[in-house]
Amino acid sequence: MNAAQDTILRLEGLKMHFPVTSGIFFQRVQGWIKAVDGVSLTIRRGETLGLVGESGCGKTTLGRCVLRLYKPTEGRVEYDGQDITDLGNRDLRPFRRRMQVIFQDPYASLNPRMTAGRIIGEPLAIHKTVADREEQRRRVLELAEIVSFHPSMLDRFPHEFSSGQRQRIGIARALALNPEFIVADEPVSALDVSIQAQIINLLMELQQQMGLTYLFIAHDLSVVRHISNRVAVMYLGHVVELADSDVIYSDPAHPYTQALLSAVPVPDPAVEATREPIILPGETPSPLNPPSGCVFHPRCPMAEDRCSRETPEFREVRPNHWAACLLTPGYDQAPPVKP
C-alpha cells in the first residue's frame, strides 16, 4: 500500500472564519473569528490521531469541517482521495454514512423523548439501510451487544442511564451505519475518571474489530496518550506540532506542547517531585484579533523579537515530526512541505 492509498483524510490549508456582525436591519461584518486558520494534515487509515488543545483553540470547529458540517472558508478537505470541500448535501450523503461523530456530552446529544433502542436505530431509518422493522430490531440488538449495552435496557429513556451508559448509546448510534472514520469530539470529558478508561478501552476494541480510523479530540494530553498513534497539538486555530504519540510525550518540540505536558502528572512520585510546571502568562488571545507573527509569541517563554514579526511555517523538523516554531532545532533546515 503506498502513502496516498494509506491516507483516509487530507486537509490542505484549511481555514474556517466566522463573521462578527453588527446592526439589526443591515448587518455589517465587523471582523472575523479565525477559528481554524490554515491547517494541513493527514490521517492514515486505521490510526487514531489525537487532536489536543485548550478550549476555544478551534479543534471542534476543525472536526466539524472534516465532517463537512461546516463548509470551510478556504482550503481543501479530501476524503479517501476525493475532494469533498464544496459538495452539497446530496453529494455528501454517501460520505456521511462513512464518517460519523461521537459527541462530548452524551446527555445533550441524545433525544430525551426517544428510547435507547430508537436512538440507536435512528440512522438506519434515516439512511434506509434496513428493509423493515424486524431487520432494524435485529441490527439494534447487534449494536447494543457490540457496545456491551444490555438489551433489556433498550426500552428505557436517556435520563434513566448513567453518563457512561449514555455514551455507550452514542457510540452504538455512531456505529449503526458501519462507518470507517469517526470524529470523537471529547468523548470522555463529561465522564467520571473511572468510566473514562472503560470508554477509551471500548473505542480501542472497536477500532481493532472494525478497522476504524479516529480523529480523537481532547483538551487534555493525558486523555489521548493511551489511544493515539499520533498526536496533533492545536493553538489559536493552528496545528503547532504533530508527531508519533510516544515522541510527543518524550521529546516535544514546540514550547506550547512542552507547557501542556508539564501540567500532566507523572505516575512516579519521585519524578513528579522534581518537575516544574511551565506556567504560561496571560490568557489565550482572541481568535478575532490573533497576534502577529507566531500566534503563541505573547505567552511563549522562549520568544525572541523575530517571533512577533515572522510567522512560522509547519515544518518537518525531524523525520515524521512537524512543528511550527522558528527556534525549534531543525526548523531552518527543513523544507516547507505540507504533512
Residues of this chain that interact with ligand SF4 (CB under 6 A) are 254-255, 294, 296-297, 300, 302-303, 307, 312, 325-327
Query: In this structure, how many other beta carbons lie within 10 angstroms of the beta carbon of residue 286?
Result: 13
Query: In this structure, how many other beta carbons lie within 10 angstroms of the beta carbon of residue 188?
Result: 26
Q: What's the closest the beta carbon of residue 308 comes to ligand SF4, in angstroms?
A: 8
Give dist(CA 219, CA 230) in Å, integer: 15
- Give whichever of 120 and 300 is closer to ligand SF4, judged by the CB atom: 300
Collapsed DSSP state (helix, strand, coil) of residue 248? helix
At position 259, the amino acid (one-letter code) is A
- Give whichever of 194 and 333 is closer to ligand SF4, judged by the CB atom: 333
Query: In this structure, how many other beta carbons lie within 10 angstroms of the beta carbon of residue 3?
Result: 8
Grid coordinates given for 173: 448510534
Planar angle of CA 207, 210, 216, nearest 5 degrees: 30
At position 274, the amino acid (one-letter code) is T
Q: What's the closest the beta carbon of residue 255 comes to ligand SF4, in angstroms?
A: 5
Q: What's the closest the beta carbon of residue 219 comes to ligand SF4, in angstroms?
A: 20
Q: What's the closest the beta carbon of residue 333 comes to ligand SF4, in angstroms?
A: 16
- Give whichever of 2 and 333 is closer to ligand SF4, judged by the CB atom: 333
Give dist(CA 251, CA 267) in Å, integer: 18
Grid coordinates given for 116: 435507547
Tell me which residue has cell 449494536. Answer: 143
Q: What's the closest the beta carbon of residue 281 comes to ligand SF4, in angstroms?
A: 12
Grid coordinates given for 82: 476525493
- Give whichever of 87 and 278 is closer to ligand SF4, judged by the CB atom: 278
- Give whichever of 54 and 80 is closer to ligand SF4, judged by the CB atom: 54
Give dist(CA 94, CA 84) in Å, integer: 11
- Give whichever of 168 and 315 is closer to ligand SF4, judged by the CB atom: 315
Q: What's the closest the beta carbon of residue 232 comes to ligand SF4, in angstroms?
A: 16
Planar angle of CA 102, 104, 107, nearest 5 degrees: 95
Q: Which residues contact 109 (CB under 8 A, 6 or more apart)?
A: 103, 170
- Give whichever of 269 and 281 is closer to ligand SF4, judged by the CB atom: 281
Q: Quick one: which of 136, 187, 131 has its CA closest to 163?
A: 187
Q: What's the closest the beta carbon of residue 298 comes to ligand SF4, in angstroms?
A: 8
Q: What's the closest the beta carbon of residue 284 comes to ligand SF4, in angstroms?
A: 14
- Give whichever of 75 and 255 is closer to ligand SF4, judged by the CB atom: 255
